[in-house]
Amino acid sequence: MAKKQKFKTEVSKLLDIVINSLYSEKYIFLRELISNASDACDKLRYYALTNPGIAKNNGEFKITITPNDEENTLTISDNGIGMNKDDLINHLGTIAKSGTADFVRNASDNGSIVDLIGKFGVGFYSAFMVAQKVEVTTRRAGEEQAYNWISDGVDGFEITETTREKIGTDVKLYLKDDAKDFTDTIYLRHIIRTYSDHINYPIVLDLGKAGEETVNTGSALWTKNKADITEDQYNEFYHHISRNFDTPWMRLHFKAEGSIEYTGLLYIPSEAPYDLFQPDRQQSLKLYVNRVFISDKVDDLMPAYLRFVKGIIDSADLPLNISREMLQQNALIAKIKNGTVSRILKELKKRSEDYDDYMKFWKIFGVAFKEGIYEDVANRVEVAELSRFYSTNSIDKLTSLDEYISRVQEGQTNIYYITGDDVPTLRNNPQLEAFAAKGLEVLLLTDPIDEFWVQVLTNFKGYPIKHISQADLDLKMERDTPRADEGSLKMLTDYMTELFKDEVGKVVPTEKLTKSPVSLTVENGQMSIHLERLMRNHQQQTAFASSRILEVNPYHPLIIKLADSMFDESQKQNVEEVSRLLLDQAKIAEGEAISDSSFFSEKLSDYILRGWQKSA
């Protein structure tokens, strides 16, 4: 008797949700198992390209569905790659996809099953929605020994040795009493046609004495004419290849002709994938050669910034027996990539005309997409055109760079931006005061990637893109308010420079502030304070910390008061304390931490109280 092996915790939890859920669309289990069977055939077909003979006597690839009314069972069989003992333990006892595992760990109620299936699918385990017991009999290509995996989906599974004449897999479901429908051939035919028609292999329904019937159309969906494909077929194909179960936001089906011919059927999801920012962010297109699945790991097929695009590329012009390694630097692959990227960008451009619709895409994928400004040298401008940003002049809508340009002021020669952690803090940054006063628009950039693309896209359609600290135009304004006396101001800034020598490079007067007394900035051309903070958070810097500048507003009454007090020995302590408070204030406005918070709060209350008492 084989020892019972326990499921991993997440699997138990997933099974618990699956078995006990009131999820009504239980028939989706069939789509999932057929999908797995189809993948297994894909894998063996590819494997056989380099190992001829491995699938000898295995017959044409097909998926067979055998209902048994008397036993109340349903068996899904394939002659694909099969599984050995390790495969069974690793694949049917764990959840491979980290996103699903995380989701399951956090799922607390049965209602989340709908979400779970919507986002990730539950794959093989969905069988337990309709089965009280599942028995998998399988033999892996190239191996003699077959295995039997059996489980009631409750606390574990058993694996025993068995025999199977050919390679492939049978998944036998012992149906629950209330799942008897799934032995009804009319119902089965209907489910298969609805959800699995696009499958590339024949799906054969075993009608017992009445023989066998191929139920699906069985041709690769992308080879058909667009006009002959229904919306449902397109969506079901998307579900199959992406293992996402939303309705895609965008679909692109095309045939490229010319020096190299290929077909693409691409989708952009409408829901955020869990792995958009995982470090091993790989592209996710599947490559077929003449309808034969080759690989879903051809990195060069799609640039990383478009890694969320799902779908397939099929080309008859690539050699069939090409190795996966050779695919990586193949010139034809590069051509396919360039052509495909252009088409995607063109389609996005069309869709960007409808703001609300485009925002559905942008809110999910914008941050990844913007990496293209940095990464895709050839399409840099197109990607920038398609990007959207927060800005001082457009409050509830994001703006494009073209729209920004359409609003430039007379005489304005640059596109300005500021970077920081979040939009509300940025909007209040004192550095923006003069820009606001002059009506100059500033982009508010808050994603880490923004710090990088601004370094490579330094000019857009004739407008240099500049950080506001590099504003070389004259921000000087006509002012009718008093200004600090030049001599005392010089004394004050010299004094503060000395006082803060460990924290800032220098203290200088500025014409840029209107409301605030002080503001922090960096030396022209140096790393922004935001980038420095990002790098610090990733433990990446110290060596090249930018030198800070504390700018003081010579028109502000507080600065005038300080400057005037420079000659008054009795004010020495006040001058020092107020100077320190001002530096802290500037840091807070930048989103920086202050060095001595107890000093700050104590002195702040002190000075408020003094002012209040005086005015009372």
Our CB check for ligand ADP shows the closer of 114 and 508 to be 114
Give the binding range for ligand ADP (CB under 6 A) out of 36-44, 215-223, 543-551, 572-580. 36-44
The least distance separating ligand ADP from the CB of residue 40, rounded to whole angstroms, comes to 3
Question: Residues in contact with ligand ADP, total (CB under 6 A)?
Answer: 16
Our CB check for ligand ADP shows the closer of 92 and 386 to be 92
What six digits make up the tokens of 239? 């579900």
Distance between CA atoms of residues 147 and 473, nearest Å: 76
The least distance separating ligand ADP from the CB of residue 300, rounded to whole angstroms, comes to 24
- By beta carbon distance, the residue nearest ligand ADP is 123
What six digits make up the tokens of 287? 């490559």
Radius of gyration over every alpha carbon of the chain, rounded to an integer in angstroms: 33
User: Angle, nearest 10°, between helix axes 9-20 and 98-106?
Assistant: 70
Footprint of ligand ADP on 281-340 (CB under 6 A) = none
Distance between CA atoms of residues 408 and 414, nearest Å: 9
The residue ranges of DSSP E strands in 387-488, in sequence order, are 389-391, 394-399, 415-419, 442-445, 459-460, 463-467
Distance between CA atoms of residues 116 and 27, nearest Å: 16
Binding of ligand ADP by 46 (CB under 6 A): no
The least distance separating ligand ADP from the CB of residue 77, rounded to whole angstroms, comes to 9
Our CB check for ligand ADP shows the closer of 88 and 449 to be 88
Our CB check for ligand ADP shows the closer of 168 and 372 to be 168
Considering only 17, 23, 64, 123, the residue that binds ligand ADP (CB under 6 A) is 123
The least distance separating ligand ADP from the CB of residue 282, rounded to whole angstroms, comes to 15
Q: Mask: binding to ligand ADP, 506-535, rule CB under 6 A, as x and -?
A: ------------------------------
- By CB atoms closer than 10 A (0-12, 13-18, 19+), residue 35 is buried
Our CB check for ligand ADP shows the closer of 32 and 451 to be 32
Distance between CA atoms of residues 430 and 298, nearest Å: 48
Considering only 7, 124, 555, 600, the residue that binds ligand ADP (CB under 6 A) is 124
Considering only 21, 66, 79, 169, the residue that binds ligand ADP (CB under 6 A) is 169
Residue carrying structure tokens 């799922």: 107
Q: Mask: binding to ligand ADP, 64-103, rule CB under 6 A, as x and -?
A: --------------x-xxxx-------xx---x-------
Strand (E) or helix (H) holding 288: strand 284-289
Helices (H), 300-416: 324-328, 331-351, 355-369, 371-375, 380-385, 401-406
The least distance separating ligand ADP from the CB of residue 197, rounded to whole angstroms, comes to 19
Considering only 18, 37, 55, 383, the residue that binds ligand ADP (CB under 6 A) is 37
- By CB atoms closer than 10 A (0-12, 13-18, 19+), residue 194 is middle
Give the binding range for ligand ADP (CB under 6 A) out of 33-41, 358-366, 539-547, 549-557. 33-41
Residue carrying structure tokens 């808050």: 446
Considering only 18, 34, 40, 113, the residue that binds ligand ADP (CB under 6 A) is 40
Our CB check for ligand ADP shows the closer of 123 and 269 to be 123
Our CB check for ligand ADP shows the closer of 240 and 388 to be 240
HSE-CB for 291 with a 13 A CA cutoff: 11
CA 365 to each of CA 269, 348, 369, 525, 592: distance values in angstroms, whole numbers, following the listed order: 9, 12, 6, 30, 29
Give the binding range for ligand ADP (CB under 6 A) out of 32-40, 103-111, 282-290, 563-571. 32-40
Footprint of ligand ADP on 243-282 (CB under 6 A) = 243
The least distance separating ligand ADP from the CB of residue 325, rounded to whole angstroms, comes to 22
**CB-based contacts of 213, cutoff 8 Å, min separation 6:** 189, 204, 205, 207
Strands 262-268, 250-256: parallel, antiparallel or unpaired by DSSP? Answer: antiparallel
In this structure, are residues 183 and 67 in contact, taking their beta carbons and an 8 Å threshold? yes
The least distance separating ligand ADP from the CB of residue 305, rounded to whole angstroms, comes to 25
Footprint of ligand ADP on 208-247 (CB under 6 A) = 243
Q: With CA atoms as reference, report the closest residue to 454 among 551, 396, 512, 527.
A: 527
Our CB check for ligand ADP shows the closer of 94 and 601 to be 94
Our CB check for ligand ADP shows the closer of 18 and 81 to be 81
Phi, psi of 67 (to 5 degrees): -85, 145
What are residue 266's DSSP bridge partners? 252, 311
Distance between CA atoms of residues 152 and 138, nearest Å: 18
Length in residues, the chain = 616
Our CB check for ligand ADP shows the closer of 122 and 348 to be 122
**Binding site residues, ligand ADP, CB under 6 A:** 32, 36-37, 40, 78, 80-83, 91-92, 96, 123-124, 169, 243
